Amino acid sequence: MTQIELRGIEKFFGAVQVIHNLNLAIADNEFIVLLGQSGCGKTTTLRAVAGLETIDKGDILIDGKPVQHLKAADRDIAMVFQSFSLYPHMTVFENVAFPLRATRMSSGEVDKSVREVARVLRITDLLDKRPSALSGGDMQRVAIGRALVRRPKAMLMDEPIGALDAKLREEMRAEIKRLHVKQGSTTIYVTHDQIEAMSLADRIVIMHEGFIQQVGTPDEVYSHPANLFVAQFVGSPVMNIAEARVADQAGAASVTVGEAPAGFEFPHQLLSKLNGHAANGGLTMGIRPEGVLVRHDAAPGYMPVEASIIEPLGSFDIVDLKVGSTMLRARTKAGYVSGPGERVHVRIDPEQAHFFDTASGKSLGVRL
Ligand SMILES: Nc1ncnc2c1ncn2[C@@H]1O[C@H](COP(=O)(O)OP(=O)(O)OP(=O)(O)O)[C@@H](O)[C@H]1O
Ligand SMILES: [Mg+2]
């Protein structure tokens, strides 16, 4: 059982505040991912939990007990970094065994623990090798093994696979997930890669400039982004964002983006749901490329537009469509639009549209 709670954490480096009133409760066995751009405070938060960094305000609780006064070594938390520093003169076995050597464990018990961790991480046949003989992925497995061998209360990982190439990253991602399902330890994992975050996390914590933007399951942050930052940070290709005006038009709502000559048709109930936001000019619509529907021939509700750049991405294409002064990116079947300049017809799927207050960036929580 390990719960971690962060209450009202503030952190300054000199006069610069890098963490602002951070609150987060992490459940036993939960896999939490801190996601955000470089410099948003992910590592600082992780180091504070580990005891490698002091905080200026707030409380860090492990299983309900404040731990700020405890040294890193007394918090029983293991940390894996991006740059895995294995001891080059020791074998893999000795590297993994190292944290146990300082304990009063008998050598028989050490041997058993190392072999168990090695089995889980599939590095048994590497135990006699030295780090210089290992691939990047294997080195990272060994580093994780060294962190796990003490059976810590919690695992903290700071971009542990960020330095590996794309294929290996994908492999290690699956490995880390498998390991978590098997070992089930409370984990805080830091990355700036949203795909890594989506695939690993029970819940994602999206950070920006030291502030938490949203905490939610991968589905929640993808389907119900709390603000424009999250909307554009999660999802690839990124969500289309455009200033929008909404008008009442013959029993339907008409949503005009940019300087488009006509509006997209939406159900009339959008007007009442927006509750006045339509009128004051401070409205932004967000729509993911898969919510921009494209067809060749004309149909009710579809607007004629011209295709611009086409990006083939293998199983699908991303097609840029000129809608007035706004460019909307649509996701289509591969090859559906033949080339730039082709005339097609486009519609916005109302059910996939998001609406935000332009000034604050906050989601209005309006879904159809
Ligand atoms: N020891 C330090 N002294 C002064 N400023 C620091 C120190 N460590 C971090 N910072 C600053 O604090 C802010 C947060 O840094 P942090 O390392 O937590 O970001 P991060 O989200 O982990 O970024 P990255 O993705 O680049 O690793 C940054 O502006 C950084 O420059
Ligand atoms: Mg960092």
Question: What is the reported pLDDT for 151?
Answer: 82
Atom of ligand 1 nearest to the CA of 37: 25
| Ligand 1 atom closest to Cα of residue 46 | 18
pLDDT value of residue 184: 83
Q: Pocket of ligand 1, candidates 13, 52, 233: which has the most ligand atoms within 8 Å of its Cβ, to mutate?
A: 13
One DSSP character per residue, 194-226 reads HHHHHHH-SEEEEEETTEEEEEE-HHHHHHS-S
Per-residue pLDDT at 140: 86
pLDDT of residue 278: 55
Residue pair 31/202 in contact (Cβ under 8 Å)? The answer is: yes
Question: From ligand 1's centre to the CA of 44, what distance in Å?
Answer: 6
Atom of ligand 1 nearest to the CA of 192: 25
The number of the ligand 1 atom at minimal distance from the alpha carbon of 210 is: 14
Judged by phi (left if over 0) then psi (alpha if -120 to 50, else beta), residue 117 lies in alpha
What was the pLDDT predicted at 81? 83
What is the pLDDT, as a whole number, of residue 135?
A: 87
List of domains in the chain: 4-224 (3.40.50.300), 240-357 (2.40.50.140)
pLDDT by residue, tens only, the chain of 368 residues: 799 999 999 999 999 999 999 999 999 999 999 999 999 999 999 999 999 999 999 999 999 999 999 998 899 898 888 776 889 999 999 999 998 988 888 999 999 999 988 988 889 999 999 999 998 888 988 998 898 888 888 999 999 888 788 888 888 888 888 888 888 889 999 999 999 999 999 999 999 999 999 999 999 999 999 999 999 999 989 999 999 989 888 889 999 998 888 899 999 999 989 876 655 558 999 999 999 999 999 999 899 999 999 999 999 999 999 998 899 999 999 999 999 999 999 999 999 999 999 989 999 999 88
Report the nearest-CA residue for atom 8 of ligand 1: 44
Whole-number Å distance, alpha carbon 195 to ligand 2 midpoint, is 17
DSSP letter for each residue of 47-71:
HHHHTSS--SEEEEEETTEE-TTS-
Instruction: Give pLDDT, residue 281.
Output: 52
Q: Tell me the CA–centroid distance for residue 39 and ligand 2, in Å.
A: 7
Residue 306, token pair as written in the block: 């011209």
Ion ligand 2: protein residues whose beta carbon lies under 5 Å: 43
Distance from C-alpha of 100 to C-alpha of 53, rounded to nearest angstrom: 24
Q: What pLDDT shows up at residue 280?
A: 59
From the CA of 45, the nearest ligand is 1
Ligand nearest to the CA of 42: 1
